[in-house]
Structure 1
């Protein structure tokens, strides 16, 4: 009943005053029939029912209407308070100006019973922010359902349990709720509680949950900040419990045997905890169980045979533990089993052949074990197989020819085994494939030609086998192909020009094969190409000039071929990339930039090459080129004479300049005249300047910034070039030797890191000056400043193509540091202010003052322990472990990627208290329509699909669990794949990692 109708009850009382306290039902019915028509039918029914049931007079029943009206008014007031407290565009749909039948009961997300009492509020995925008023159950006494998932509730627990005895379903997943969980015992009617993916702290509320004997669903997934706790036996009293999800909640101890007594369970998830000991065989008693997730623990022992008794099991994941023994045949006989994942354990034996008869299997992932024997030859023949991942085992025999029989296969990954025989021709017909990797086996025979033209495949990797045959022209159809790997096989014939039509290619490695003929000029069409490795073949053409158009190229290796002709000068535009032309039949002058960059070893083994006559090498390994004829010599002499005159004039001007600025240098930088030029110089490139040019220019007007470890100067050299010089801070202590140690340590770290790096997306370090009074690092100058200023200070607007190029460039630079060096490097402070932009807005990763070369060769979890990093970019595990891994860099890159897409800073007031860009973006990603709200509004006509794809990659990079983050090599490929004209493979990300990333 609406507030406007409240006066009605007065007239009703006067109309029916004649009814007495003990009227007969007949009299009451007669009176009810004469109630006015404007009273709502359900209120007529309520009033008359009350009178009939209690034998009250109708007048007395009508007198209760004010209390009813006050209660309804209280509900309206509360919902109005909700609208005021939770901010977001969706709340505009709650219009309190409406009246009559269009009351709050008609609001989206609100449901009422026949008496206009609110029974449900569901604001799931409305992406609201603010504080939900905690007195919901006081104001809404009949509230049975409350859904606040995928919002930002910010504050503590959103309801008062003492008032919520009627509540049956509470869902606050992904609501970013902080604080502790109160005593839940008063929720006497609760059937389902989902508090997953929040930020609760304190003790886990297991004891109060155990008092909710009617509860059927408990979900606390991804609450990693609870105090460490153990699962108590008291929970067995929950005899109706079907779903128990306690993943990543800091549970420790063993999985208790008594859990097998909870026979109503259909879903048991305890992954991502600190559980040890063996898997209890009593789990086999859970006859209704469909989902069993125990991955990412420390479980030991064998997989119990008793799990084969789980005849309704659909999905089991025991991955990332320390399990031994074999995969039980009884488990593989379960007819309903769709997903079997036991990767990264110490399992031995084989895959039971009975699994090949399965009609339900969709995902099989057993990589990273010690399994042997054959993969069941008929696997996939009778089921809709999507993923077959058996890499890094010791399997042998032939590959299963029917893996794609159902035409659904996305991932075929059998890397690093002992498979032999050939590739079945059926694989070339598997049009759904996204990734096909069979490298490092003993496979042989011809490669089915259709394999090269799979329309959706992003990776084809056949490396390190004994394959023969040619690369088919069908590669022109591989529009989604980003990586083609065929190294160390016996592939022959020519490299077809049609490869230039596979325009998504990022990496090509065809090294150590039998390819002959020319390098097709069409490769120059592959604008995104990052790596081209053709070494160790019989290619016999000249080097095409078109390769110089590959502006993204980082690695070009054409060594150990039969290439002829000159090295095109245009290729020097690709420097400082890794270029290797050694051991060919090249002739003519070596381009001077290769000599200047110290890359002379990259052209060794070409006896017909020569050094230009005007270049003076102290230890020449090549003869000097013949001098030009007389006329050319006279012309050159005239040029040289003119240059000499200009040089003399320049020297005189420099001397004058030096005398004028000498005092200023002494005054501002503390140099003495005796030490100004006393430097030990370590050079990494051929220098075009003298050290006095640098020292003289260290004056205040040339300062362009102050970094965490020094002052940065912009210096224009006498030849017109610009360089950036970082003068390291001197930390003043009483012990000057400690100052020196500090400077030397900072200097040595950055010099050792950058000195040997040759990559177009890593800032170039020209040289290091080490003197008594100062330490100087001389870099290439970046005219467009850093990415932070470009994005957030409006110094230059970046359109979307430029941002996408920047994202790929940063990713390529980090991939080089993580994967392409003898010892991987963790940068540890990736942020937009450490990304510099050159004149073409090509990004350069900079500031390696806190980077460290990892010295643990071959260790999977290499890390460093020096505290570093910047708030807003730090991976959560680094905050408590103080160990920096490559996955920490991936996390920081994910933050940078979010900045590029949204234009927001990592920390903004609009995100809410204690929230950052990761939480803000993640909360917006449930639907495409809402996700579009976070895209940078400054970008005109934005390619929304492509930008959202990059956001998905960013969310993956910032997973709270580092194991679920991709590597930077994968990130590079994903960024290339994220294009609106290509198939959307992001929906299959969870199949790559074989677990959905819970950010």
Structure 2
């Protein structure tokens, strides 16, 4: 008996020792399996090969007090492979498993359901597919995150058996079969967060959710939910956020929502909801109310004006009537305010800027009357101010035109009168000024030249008089100037010739007098109109020869100089006195051209005799030069002979799919780039190939020849013959953006990269929005972005650009697939339909290059993965977002780079409709200027609506939904 009493404790100790040894062996096997299954640098920290059992010291591993592994956290390790099926056979005490943001292969590892002690499972952003198993065995689970994967088949309704769940996230799993929220979801009484956004949920929201009183966050957006909102949702006393946007919900918002006293953020936009109850507007902690694009009728409850917490109000595109609550913003720190596209009347609320943080004030397309409150002069934080298409009257407060940070001020299509204040010169950041279709009178102040960033000015259809101030020529960014239908009564200022980027100029229907300045012919904008004035004297010959005479109609005292087509003009010939100078000029030009031609002929004869041993292609080029059709688009400062003489091998700087590129240094000290397209006689090309090249040449010439924009490469001229075609461009000293970012020879800091991004965006915005018809580039990439001596960017290579034929209001055209892998929008690859949104997508990729310093496709991203996927695996957390920034330059610019990263993510949304337009991208980039440091908008992600200039502020993970 005594021996037994001694033996039992000994056996028990032996058993425990053996148990520990077995568990240690299992744990060791787990790391062996992981090293075998996965590739990734981070696993090098696990010293399995040396037989070390100090697992608790491994990176990403946590142990309990007995030395058993209870935590594996390998989130964001960029691992590729298949997770071990029997993880819990190796790690029976596992409580926390985080393997999110990796490249897991295949299906969900069903063996995880054997982890009976598991409390947290995060396998989000892992590219997992297939069907999910019965989750019921995971009874200890408190947190389950399987978001952003590719699961399919039936949704695992067994989640309702996990009664200990507190956090549940299936966001962005849109491949599930359509399913409905089960009534027994209310069994999950401990659940605090439900995220089923974009999960193919249909049917009605079950009333039983109202029993889940622990809920703090309910997100069901981007689905197919129908029916009315159940009043029982008003029982969720702890609810702080509800997101139901992008569904098909209908009917009135229940008055019971007024019981949600903890509610802070509500977004039920893009549904069919019909009424906004006053009880909802009385919520004491409400900060964001977004119900845009619904069917709301009636008035905005006056109670909303009493809120002390509201920062964002977005009710645009509804059928709201009545007055805007007078006290809106009086006690609340408003940041965003958008009531556009309703039927609101009455006056503007006077207190919206009381909080000093208002960035957006948008009430366009309503029936608002009265005056713009003087208090708006204090809205110094404003970025966009749009009240167009209303019935406003009275004068414009001086401070409104002087907003120091505003990029857009749009007061057009109202009944405003009075003067344009001299304070306009203080609007240093202003890009677009729209005052057309009002009753504004007086002079246009010379101080407008102080708004140095102006790109568009539209003052048409007003009562402005006096001279056009010559100082307007200082607005070197100006692209559009519309002053028609006013009473300007001076001569046209010579300084307009300084506006080298001007593309649209309309001075028609005024009282302008005097001659037309000859130097205006240097501009030759795409659209110009001087008609119906009192102009006199000769029309510059360049306008006559350019076929622009219709632009001068209604000026009876104008005449045309004699030229070969005088019989076809509707204008009288100028008298001898008035055209003597013109005739002399023509004689000098003709003589000069004749001498040049004779010189070229003599030169070519001598050159041919001397160099008959040259290659067949060079013989073709030189012998046919006399038959070249030469067309110039800009005033040339070089002799065309220099181009031919310098096209030798040592000047070749590159080859393209359509020909050879030369760098030619001219005798005047300048350099040009010449693209020589392959000869029609080249043996390597078949007839069909040559037709493609001819079309490519015509596209590039037609496109670039008509463009004048600082961020589009300049085409000086082209030579065209049967045998060879040459395009002569300005030469860009610093090469292309690809080499600057990835070549290792220079290091561009963030302000420099930001300026490149903004310049490219402005160039693309011009192509998409300022040309009629607009142009799609179709091959935006860093190699097609050239950099001048100051690293200012210019978009190049329009060989595959496509002019949009805007039929039926659509901005697309069916064409052959063009572009470059890594930059192609997904819809373009499978539909072959090019749209402006394809360029937006490609530009987003370029933005990511600038932000990260990485190439669009790198081995580190994983097989068949690109930079967009890699960024998406990082940005779920603040730390992850910072991790994608190029560490060589981020330094003190992290927050500014994050702003641009958000823009890039928006540009690369999978759905084209979710991407912003390039005009919107330009405005967002202006607001992200690293030199301005606008702290009040750092915490927001701004997403614009493509229909009108509206906005939405939401979280990064929802940006593309």
The TM-score by the shorter chain falls in which range? 0.7 to 0.9
Q: Which has the larger radius of gyration?
A: 1
Is 1:812 aligned to 2:762, yes or no?
Answer: yes
1:449 alignment counterpart: 398
1:343 alignment counterpart: 292
Task: Choose which of 927, 930, 933 in structure 2 pairs with 1:980.
Answer: 930
2:904 alignment counterpart: 954
SS in 1 for 2:185: helix
Question: Equivalences for 1:936-955 in 2 at 5 Å?
Answer: 947-955=897-905
Q: 1:420 Cα deviation (Å)?
A: 1.0
SS in 1 for 2:300: coil
Please tell me whether the aligned partners of residues 611 and 625 of structure 1 are also in contact (alpha carbons under 8 angstroms): no
Is 1:401 aligned to 2:350, yes or no?
Answer: yes
Question: Equivalences for 1:771-920 in 2 at 5 Å?
Answer: 780=729, 787-788=737-738, 791-792=741-742, 803-835=753-785, 842-847=793-798, 849=800, 851-858=802-809, 864=814, 867-879=817-829, 883-920=833-870
Please tell me whether the aligned partners of residues 576 and 760 of structure 1 are also in contact (alpha carbons under 8 angstroms): no
Please tell me whether the aligned partners of residues 260 and 285 of structure 1 are also in contact (alpha carbons under 8 angstroms): no
- In angstroms, what is the RMSD of aligned CA positions? 5.6
- TM-score, structure 1 length as denominator? 0.76
Counterparts of 1:867 and 1:314, CA distance in 2:
47
Q: 1:979 to 1:754 in 2, by over 3 A?
A: closer
2:439 alignment counterpart: 490
Q: 1:811 to 1:138 in 2, by over 3 A?
A: same
2:20 alignment counterpart: 68
Counterparts of 2:529 and 2:608, CA distance in 1:
42
Counterparts of 1:490 and 1:815, CA distance in 2:
30
SS in 2 for 1:119: strand
Counterparts of 1:874 and 1:731, CA distance in 2:
31
Q: 1:104 to 1:848 in 2, by over 3 A?
A: same
Gaps of 5+ in 2: 944-950
1:995 alignment counterpart: 954
Please tell me whether the aligned partners of residues 506 and 528 of structure 1 are also in contact (alpha carbons under 8 angstroms): yes
1:246 alignment counterpart: 196
Question: Equivalences for 1:277-676 in 2 at 5 Å?
Answer: 277-279=226-228, 281=230, 284=233, 287-288=236-237, 289-297=239-247, 299=248, 301-303=250-252, 305=254, 308=257, 311-312=260-261, 313-321=263-271, 323=272, 325-328=274-277, 331-332=280-281, 337-475=286-424, 477-516=426-465, 529-538=478-487, 555=504, 623=574, 647-655=597-605
Please tell me whether the aligned partners of residues 747 and 775 of structure 1 are also in contact (alpha carbons under 8 angstroms): no
Task: Choose which of 176, 180, 183 in structure 1 pairs with 2:133.
Answer: 183
Counterparts of 2:813 and 2:202, CA distance in 1:
27
Q: 1:168 Cα deviation (Å)?
A: 1.2
Counterparts of 1:553 and 1:804, CA distance in 2:
24
SS in 2 for 1:445: strand
2:65 alignment counterpart: 114
Q: 1:907 Cα deviation (Å)?
A: 0.7
In terms of mean alpha carbon deviation, does 163-172 or 203-212 score higher? Answer: 203-212
Q: 1:337 to 1:607 in 2, by over 3 A?
A: same
Please tell me whether the aligned partners of residues 120 and 144 of structure 1 are also in contact (alpha carbons under 8 angstroms): yes
Q: 1:966 Cα deviation (Å)?
A: 1.9
Is 1:969 aligned to 2:903, yes or no?
Answer: no
Q: 1:799 to 1:597 in 2, by over 3 A?
A: farther
Counterparts of 1:181 and 1:166, CA distance in 2:
23
SS in 1 for 2:795: strand
Question: Equivalences for 1:730-809 in 2 at 5 Å?
Answer: 759=709, 761-762=711-712, 780=729, 787-788=737-738, 791-792=741-742, 803-809=753-759
Counterparts of 2:516 and 2:105, CA distance in 1:
62
Counterparts of 1:495 and 1:127, CA distance in 2:
61
SS in 2 for 1:974: helix
Counterparts of 1:756 and 1:920, CA distance in 2:
39
Please tell me whether the aligned partners of residues 183 and 205 of structure 1 are also in contact (alpha carbons under 8 angstroms): no
Counterparts of 1:248 and 1:728, CA distance in 2:
54
Counterparts of 2:206 and 2:880, CA distance in 1:
45
Q: 1:439 Cα deviation (Å)?
A: 1.0
In terms of mean alpha carbon deviation, does 878-887 or 927-936 score higher? Answer: 927-936
Q: 1:391 to 1:667 in 2, by over 3 A?
A: same
Please tell me whether the aligned partners of residues 956 and 964 of structure 1 are also in contact (alpha carbons under 8 angstroms): yes
Counterparts of 1:431 and 1:212, CA distance in 2:
52
Deviations 1:223-255 (A, max 9, x none): 34x244322637637433443222223x15433
Q: 1:465 Cα deviation (Å)?
A: 1.3
Question: Equivalences for 1:921-936 in 2 at 5 Å?
Answer: 921-925=871-875, 934=884
Is 1:167 aligned to 2:118, yes or no?
Answer: yes
Gaps of 5+ in 1: 1-18, 24-54
Q: 1:351 Cα deviation (Å)?
A: 3.1
Please tell me whether the aligned partners of residues 482 and 977 of structure 1 are also in contact (alpha carbons under 8 angstroms): no
Q: 1:827 to 1:199 in 2, by over 3 A?
A: farther
SS in 2 for 1:419: coil
Task: Choose which of 212, 217, 226 in structure 1 pairs with 2:167.
Answer: 217
Please tell me whether the aligned partners of residues 340 and 364 of structure 2 are also in contact (alpha carbons under 8 angstroms): yes
Q: 1:577 to 1:932 in 2, by over 3 A?
A: farther
Q: 1:930 to 1:852 in 2, by over 3 A?
A: same
Please tell me whether the aligned partners of residues 470 and 496 of structure 2 are also in contact (alpha carbons under 8 angstroms): yes
Q: 1:123 to 1:712 in 2, by over 3 A?
A: same
Q: 1:909 Cα deviation (Å)?
A: 1.3
Please tell me whether the aligned partners of residues 964 and 997 of structure 1 are also in contact (alpha carbons under 8 angstroms): no
1:10 alignment counterpart: none
2:946 alignment counterpart: none
SS in 2 for 1:393: coil
Counterparts of 1:556 and 1:83, CA distance in 2:
67
Question: Equivalences for 1:676-695 in 2 at 5 Å?
Answer: none
SS in 2 for 1:892: helix
Q: 1:133 to 1:953 in 2, by over 3 A?
A: same
Q: 1:897 Cα deviation (Å)?
A: 2.1
Please tell me whether the aligned partners of residues 262 and 286 of structure 1 are also in contact (alpha carbons under 8 angstroms): yes
1:229 alignment counterpart: 178
